[in-house]
Amino acid sequence: MTDYILRGGEVIDGSGGPRFRADVAIAGDRIAEIGAVGRAAGAREIDVTGRIVAPGFIDVHTHDDRALFATPQMAAKASQGVTTVVTGNCGISLAPLTIDYAPPPPLDLIGEAADYRYGRFADYLAALDRSPAALNAACLVGHSTLRVGAMSALDRPAEPHELTRMGEFLQEALDAGAVGLSSGLAYAPAEHAPPAEIEALAALLRPAAALYTTHMRNEGSGVLDSLAESFAVGRAAGVPVVISHHKTIGRDNFGRTGETLPVIAAAIAKQEVGLDAYPYIASSTVLSAGQAERASKVLVTWSKSAPEQAGRELAAIAAAWGVSVKDAVDRLQPAGAIYWMMDEPDVQRVLRFPHTMIGSDGLPHDFHPHPRLWGTFPRVLGHYCRDLGLFGLEEAVRKMTGLPAARFGLSGRGAIVAGAWADLTVFDPATVIDRATFEVPTTPAAGIEHVFVNGRPVWAAGKPSGERPGRVLRRQQMQAQHVE
């Protein structure tokens, strides 16, 4: 029985192909019919004339592991048309790990000690099953999380028995349904992990047909070496690699995506490689003196020691306190920050690259977050696609739907075809735009009119519907569907 008919819109199906005029009928959790759909008794008609009907967007780079519980309506993402989030990026996942002390940065970006309470990945996914969010979740296991759980000290390579333990944790997570392993080799908990440690763990991914994503060791002067290291992991383990939030940072490296993208393209010709990016020239993570030194401007996003400083510039805080920037960084710890350290032409070059997926990298628990948390997808659609003309709308949608669904093995999603899961976003191509700014970062976007997840509305009339139809997208279930 038909539940909804989206009447009179232009369908962009996620494949990159041209839009076409069609009605879309939803029955239960599936897309039932596309074309000239007749009236159906009991079906709710929604007039979407002049609007785009697209597959729901897939945010491939999130830190929403705990946000799915803390803010189950997921308004930051639903308001952008996102219907699926990939969690556990940059080496940090909420599971599998239990600790009774403050998590080392950057694990503190997603939770405090009490939040790390899932000793098995299966327990975390079961908790999501019991308490579903509005959006679907595909979950990565973080290498740094594995290290914290398995090692007695993090400032060295793993001992053989520790590596065995990490492998057991990872295998449990893969058996439970994790879609892959992420690393954050630029961060303290993982920077002493040699390539051999990553390759040993990545070897477990191949039998599971899972993938490896990486926040590389170096995105500055050493970016080419880091790309080579990342590709080598993929080749050694025989698994796909995703380069996270690709960029070249620091003034000395402005323009160098002109070097990195051809290197990535050459790798793609030989092995499975993907990449994601967010549409801003500022990054955001934990506050550190080293990062602050390389940025032209730093905005504090949260501070445990001085919470009232969130939203202020680091230089102004240091001046007000009459201390050096380095001392201000120490006094604010633990803390987070936004760093201006990219060049706009690099951001545009990476976004335009045909293999680039869109990922917000939003930090949902920051007090004064980077606007990418609420603005990424509408900013690509409105600012970069419509206003600057970087690419056509069909290509923008493909980067958010068909491309990531294929890369992460999300079968039956990221496409508008009969029989696919009814994850759908209806937006106005003339008005869609991000409204979250660095000053007021939690403002919902304009132009996203209806969002459906598994056939149920999660966002309409500028607010969450209150429904929570999201599902855990377990790797085995998706692979089984793929074979059908």
Q: Give the footprint of Zn ion on this chain (CB under 5 A).
A: 90, 215
Nearer to Zn ion, 80 or 182 (CB): 182
* 3-state SS, residue 136: strand
Nearer to Zn ion, 2 or 283 (CB): 283
Helix, strand, coil fractions of the chain, as percent rounded to 5: 35, 25, 45
Q: Kindly state the smallest distance separating residue 411's Cβ from Zn ion, in Å.
A: 27
For residues 166 and 71, give the distance between their C-alpha atoms in angstroms, rounded to a whole number: 30
Residue length of the chain: 484
CB 302: neighbour CB atoms within 10 A? 24
Q: Kindly state the smallest distance separating residue 216's Cβ from Zn ion, in Å.
A: 9
* Contacts with 269 (C-beta within 8 Å, 6 or more apart), sequence order: none
Nearer to Zn ion, 178 or 416 (CB): 178
Residue 218 has, within 13 A of its CA and on its CB side, a CA count of 13
Q: Tell whether the torsion through CA atoms of 412, 417, 420 and 421 is positive or negative.
A: positive
Q: Kindly state the smallest distance separating residue 138's Cβ from Zn ion, in Å.
A: 17
- As given in the structure block, the two tokens for residue 291 are 């990062």
Residue 240, phi then psi, degrees to nearest 5: -65, 145
- As given in the structure block, the two tokens for residue 197 are 């440690």
Nearer to Zn ion, 73 or 182 (CB): 182
Nearer to Zn ion, 2 or 285 (CB): 285
Q: Kindly state the smallest distance separating residue 336's Cβ from Zn ion, in Å.
A: 13
Nearer to Zn ion, 285 or 303 (CB): 285
For residues 425 and 55, give the distance between their C-alpha atoms in angstroms, rounded to a whole number: 6
Q: Kindly state the smallest distance separating residue 102's Cβ from Zn ion, in Å.
A: 20
Q: Kindly state the smallest distance separating residue 293's Cβ from Zn ion, in Å.
A: 19
Nearer to Zn ion, 287 or 458 (CB): 287
Q: Kindly state the smallest distance separating residue 20's Cβ from Zn ion, in Å.
A: 37
Q: Kindly state the smallest distance separating residue 109's Cβ from Zn ion, in Å.
A: 10
Nearer to Zn ion, 85 or 90 (CB): 90
Q: Kindly state the smallest distance separating residue 244's Cβ from Zn ion, in Å.
A: 5
**Cis bond upstream, residue 334 (ω within 30):** yes
CA angle 283, 289, 292 (to 5 degrees): 35
* Contacts with 315 (C-beta within 8 Å, 6 or more apart), sequence order: 297, 298, 325
**Residue from 245, 207, 200 nearest 61 by CA:** 245
Nearer to Zn ion, 283 or 309 (CB): 283
Nearer to Zn ion, 25 or 90 (CB): 90
Q: Which residues of 455-483 are buried (b: 16+ CB within 10 A; e: fewer)?
A: bbbbbbeeebbebbbbbbbbbeebeeeee
Residue 371 gets the label, from left (phi > 0), alpha (psi -120 to 50) or beta, of alpha
* Contacts with 79 (C-beta within 8 Å, 6 or more apart), sequence order: 374, 444, 445, 448, 459
Nearer to Zn ion, 215 or 399 (CB): 215
Q: Kindly state the smallest distance separating residue 180's Cβ from Zn ion, in Å.
A: 15
* Contacts with 273 (C-beta within 8 Å, 6 or more apart), sequence order: 231, 234, 240, 241, 242, 243, 264, 267, 355
Q: Kindly state the smallest distance separating residue 143's Cβ from Zn ion, in Å.
A: 12
For residues 189 and 201, give the distance between their C-alpha atoms in angstroms, rounded to a whole number: 16
